[in-house]
Amino acid sequence: MTMTKEEMLTMGLRDLYNKIVFINRKMEDSLKGYKSSEVHCIEYIGKNEDSNVTKLAESFYMTRGAISKIAKKLINKGVIESYQKPVNKKEIYFRLTQRGKEIYNVHEELHKEFHERDKVVFEQVTEEQFDMMLSFVETYRRHLDAEIKKQEEDIANRNDFE
Q: How many CA atoms lie within 13 A of 38 on its CB side?
A: 21
The mean pLDDT of 65-79, rounded to a whole number, is: 95
Query: From CA 117, how far away is CA 111, in angstroms rounded?
Result: 10
Say if pTM beats, i.e. exceeds, 0.85: no
Residue 61 confidence (pLDDT): 87
Amino acid letter for position 29: D
Query: From CA 41, how far away is CA 146, in angstroms rounded?
Result: 24
- The pLDDT confidence band at residue 160, using thresholds 50, 70 and 90, is low
Query: From CA 144, how far away is CA 22, in angstroms rounded?
Result: 25
pLDDT tens digits, residue range 5-42? 999 999 999 999 898 888 877 666 778 888 888 999 99
Residue 161 confidence (pLDDT): 63
Long-range contact pairs involving 30-38 (C-beta distance under 8 Å, separation at least 24): 30/106, 30/110, 31/103, 31/106, 31/107, 33/77, 34/77, 34/79, 34/103, 37/62, 37/70, 38/70, 38/73, 38/74, 38/79
**Mapping DSSP to helix (H, G, I), strand (E, B) and coil, where does residue 124 land?**
coil
The mean pLDDT of 129-156, rounded to a whole number, is: 90
Amino acid letter for position 11: M
Q: Is the pLDDT of residue 124 over 70?
A: yes
Amino acid letter for position 51: S
